[in-house]
């Protein structure tokens, strides 16, 4: 076994291994020590059939046909006109037992819609092979090896997306998976879509014929919903971290407050996800000189004018900055506050807490993490579970009747997966929504703490800046919210009511996987917007710092909008306090974001430049969405 091969034994498949095979193209190998169990169950079935024991799905029909015992010969051969052949039907080969398994696959492959991606189909194959390795399904070793060879050779069956109700398992999509083994259906090979038989031929493989219960073993299980769920959770894991990063960049851009992230705060309400998010964002903000800076140091944006800056090093600035002074007669009742902070109002509101989208981010992101973790717990169990029916226990002690060794049960029912994914499905719009709220706060001059409206100078009134970026995020959030209704609450009975309660887990998991793109785009748009806001915030603060460092307090006083005249009684106090502001600004170092945030910002800026004036933004948006989609950020 090489480093690019995953060993399957039916007991130890992990989500990481599944993703590696599905998305990175790794091969799989069957654990030889487990194959004797596989063959033992197949031999047991063959023995029982030879003894004439009635067995569901082997010597009986399926579902509502379970009460039909197969005879020794085909009654249809005695029908009038039988000798002329059956119009529109394949000529049966082998015994009725063989035909039963063959027909199960060929008649159940009836899904519709566009094909699943190759990574989903490869994941389905891995899951099916792994569960069959447990040795409770009755499949032969040679059939299992043929399924493995199809995966490893790069044959990807065409599996249309829609058609499973999630009980009895994913019958229809798994039949599309299995029909190619029989030389039917369609498959992709080396990127080309073709008949299944041709794909097998090009890969050097040959079709197989199914034996006892093998059709049922191949198509009765939860592989589609599990494959889509596992891949969705892998993507969501990355997006959870990226959403934390976007939130941290936004918090830095706001020069926000870190108190709501403190560990002693979250120790009082220790939901695991919440605690983890708070710790993660603290790490992302490490070395930040923007969070928790005093109110009076933060100027607000003013539109550029030709007289805004005198020094040559400031001539390239596309903005002006400013403060308001709070006169002594307006400080009554606030003496304690102004003994700590200088009486200047700039960009930061004089309040001890940030908006919910910033302050409650650990609680919201953390709750989504908890939904993800719960789904992962379910998926991890399901990856190594036996999910077909009936279950075969050839070595059951004390068994007297076949019903004690071939047991009909309900492991194919997808409700454990369906409910776990409905939880995740409801959580996805929540994560997208709080991201959009942060984005909106950044562009709204009423809420962005002194940044320019829509993050652009707009001196001539012609620029829209980042206005419509928020529209796109809002549209995506609405789309996600309208898709969040749980499919699992609406069962539609099937098989003439023999299957009178189904999970709809295949729809649930497929929806979640599809929703990952929109969630990714919302988070990408926040990062795009936060990068612009962070540039403005750092540039404005550092411009103020440079102005103060020159020691010319009167130049800084010129940035105060309501400065009193020199002959005003308040002027001496104003001048003294401006000198204090000048000294405070001159004595601080360079203003910058947290180290991980800076790294992400630099990556964005390597691909997308700061937008000083309106320009076509479609390329920027496409690029930032690709960066997040390719997991380049974070």
Q: Assess whether 207 and 257 both reside in one domain.
A: no
Instruction: Identify the CATH number of the domain in which residue 47 sits.
Output: 1.10.275.10
pLDDT tier for residue 98 given thresholds of 50, 70 and 90 = confident
In order of 230, 282, 354, the CA distances from 261 in angstroms are: 30, 7, 12
pLDDT of 195 over the 70 cut? yes
Q: Assess whether 614 and 555 both reside in one domain.
A: yes
- Which range scores top for mean pLDDT: 1-10, 301-310, 391-400? 301-310
Domain termination residue (choose one: 197, 221, 245): 221
Instruction: Identify the CATH number of the domain in which residue 451 sits.
Output: 1.20.200.10
> Is the residue at 79 inside a domain?
no
* 8-state DSSP, 469: H
Strands 5-8 and 27-30: parallel
Q: What is the mean pLDDT of residues 131-159?
A: 97
> Is the residue at 634 inside a domain?
no
For residues 602 and 539, what is the distance between their CA atoms, to the nearest angstrom?
Answer: 15
Q: Where does residue 551 fall: left (phi above 0), alpha (psi -120 to 50 degrees), or beta otherwise?
A: left
Q: How many domains does the chain have?
A: 2
pLDDT of 72 over the 60 cut? no
Enumerate residues 6+ apart whose C-beta is below 8 A from 616: none
User: Which tokens go with 29?
Assistant: 């190998």
Q: Cα 405 vs. chain centroid, distance in angstroms?
A: 41
pLDDT in tens, 48-60: 887 777 777 677 7
Strands 324-325 and 319-322: unpaired
pLDDT of residue 70: 65
pLDDT in tens, 305-326: 999 998 888 989 999 999 999 9
pLDDT of residue 92: 56
pLDDT of residue 379: 98
SS3 assignment, position 27:
strand
pLDDT in tens, 247-297: 999 999 999 999 999 999 999 999 999 999 999 999 999 999 999 999 999
> Is the residue at 495 inside a domain?
no
Q: Assess whether 199 and 304 both reside in one domain.
A: no
pLDDT of residue 67: 64
pLDDT of residue 48: 82
> Is the residue at 622 inside a domain?
yes
Q: What is the mean pLDDT of residues 192-197?
A: 98
State the residue range of the domain holding 211: 5-72+94-221
pLDDT in tens, 539-595: 999 999 999 999 999 999 999 999 999 999 999 999 999 999 999 999 999 999 999
Q: Assess whether 262 and 185 both reside in one domain.
A: no
Q: Assess whether 459 and 357 both reside in one domain.
A: yes
Residue 423 annotated as catalytic: no
- Which range scores top for mean pLDDT: 48-52, 374-378, 403-407? 374-378
Give CA torsion, residues 582, 314, 293, 534, to 10 deg.
170
> Is the residue at 106 inside a domain?
yes
Half-sphere exposure in the Cβ direction for 613 (13 Å, CA): 7
Q: Which of 63, 68, 164 is nearest to 498 (CA)?
A: 63
Strands 391-392 and 406-407: antiparallel
- Out of 56, 189, 295, 423, the active site residue is 56
Q: Assess whether 188 and 318 both reside in one domain.
A: no
For residues 95 and 77, what is the distance between their CA atoms, to the nearest angstrom?
Answer: 13
């Amino acid at each position: 076994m090489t480093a690019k091969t995953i060993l399957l034994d039916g007991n130890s498949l992990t989500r990481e291994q599944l993703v590696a095979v599905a998305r990175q193209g790794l091969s799989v190998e069957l654990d030889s020590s487990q194959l004797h169990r596989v063959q033992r169950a197949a031999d047991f079935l063959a023995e029982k059939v030879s003894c004439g024991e009635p067995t569901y799905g082997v010597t009986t029909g399926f579902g509502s046909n379970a009460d039909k015992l197969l005879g020794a010969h085909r009654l249809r051969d005695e029908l009038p006109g039988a000798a002329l052949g059956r119009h529109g039907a394949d000529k049966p080969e082998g015994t009725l037992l063989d035909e039963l398994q063959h027909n199960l696959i060929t008649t159940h492959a009836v899904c519709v819609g566009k094909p699943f991606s190759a990574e989903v189909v490869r994941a389905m194959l891995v899951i099916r092979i792994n569960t069959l390795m447990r040795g409770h399904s009755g499949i032969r070793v040679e059939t299992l090896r043929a399924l493995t060879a199809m995966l490893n050779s790069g044959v990807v069956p065409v599996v249309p997306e829609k058609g499973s109700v999630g009980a009895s398992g994913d019958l229809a999509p798994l039949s599309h998976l299995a029909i190619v083994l029989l030389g039917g259906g369609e498959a992709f090979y080396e990127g080309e879509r073709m008949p299944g038989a041709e794909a097998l031929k090009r890969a050097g493989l040959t079709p197989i014929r199914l034996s006892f219960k093998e059709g049922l073993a191949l198509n009765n299980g939860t592989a589609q919903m599990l494959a889509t769920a596992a891949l969705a959770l892998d993507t969501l894991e990355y997006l959870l971290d990226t959403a934390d990063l976007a939130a941290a960049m936004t918090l830095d851009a706001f020069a926000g407050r870190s108190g709501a992230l403190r560990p002693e705060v979250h120790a009082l309400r220790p939901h695991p996800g919440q605690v983890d998010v708070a710790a993660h964002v603290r790490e992302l903000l490490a070395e930040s000189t923007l969070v928790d800076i005093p109110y009076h140091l933060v100027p607000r944006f003013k539109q550029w004018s030709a007289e805004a800056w005198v020094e040559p090093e400031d001539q390239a600035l596309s903005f002006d900055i400013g403060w308001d002074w709070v006169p002594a007669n307006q400080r009554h009742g606030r003496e304690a506050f102004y003994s700590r902070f200088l009486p200047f109002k700039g960009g930061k509101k004089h309040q001890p807490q940030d908006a919910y989208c910033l302050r409650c981010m650990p609680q919201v992101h953390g709750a989504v993490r908890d939904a993800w973790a719960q789904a992962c717990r379910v998926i991890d169990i399901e990856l190594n579970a036996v999910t077909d029916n009936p279950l075969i226990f050839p070595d059951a002690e004390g068994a007297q009747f076949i019903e004690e060794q071939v047991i009909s049960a309900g492991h194919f029912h997808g409700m454990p997966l369906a409910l776990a994914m409905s939880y995740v499905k409801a959580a996805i719009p929540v994560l997208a929504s709080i991201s959009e709220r942060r984005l909106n706060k950044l562009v709204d001059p009423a809420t962005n703490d002194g940044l320019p409206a829509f993050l652009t100078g707009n001196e001539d009134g012609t620029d829209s800046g980042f206005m419509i970026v928020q529209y796109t995020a809002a549209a995506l959030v609405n789309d996600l919210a309208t898709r969040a209704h749980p499919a699992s609450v609406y069962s539609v009975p099937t098989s003439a009511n023999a299957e009178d309660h189904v999970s709809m887990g295949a729809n649930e998991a497929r929806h979640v996987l599809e929703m990952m793109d929109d969630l990714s785009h919302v988070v990408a748009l926040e990062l795009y917007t936060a990068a612009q806001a962070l540039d403005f915030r750092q540039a404005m603060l550092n411009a103020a710092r440079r102005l103060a460092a020159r020691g010319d307090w009167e130049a800084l006083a010129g940035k105060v909008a309501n400065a009193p005249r020199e002959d005003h009684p308040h002027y001496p106090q104003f001048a003294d306090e401006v000198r204090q502001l000048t000294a405070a600004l001159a004595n601080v170092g360079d203003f910058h974001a947290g180290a991980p945030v800076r790294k992400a910002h630099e990556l964005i800026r390597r691909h997308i430049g700061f937008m000083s004036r309106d320009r076509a933004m479609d390329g920027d948006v496409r690029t930032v969405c690709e960066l997040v989609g390719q997991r380049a950020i974070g």
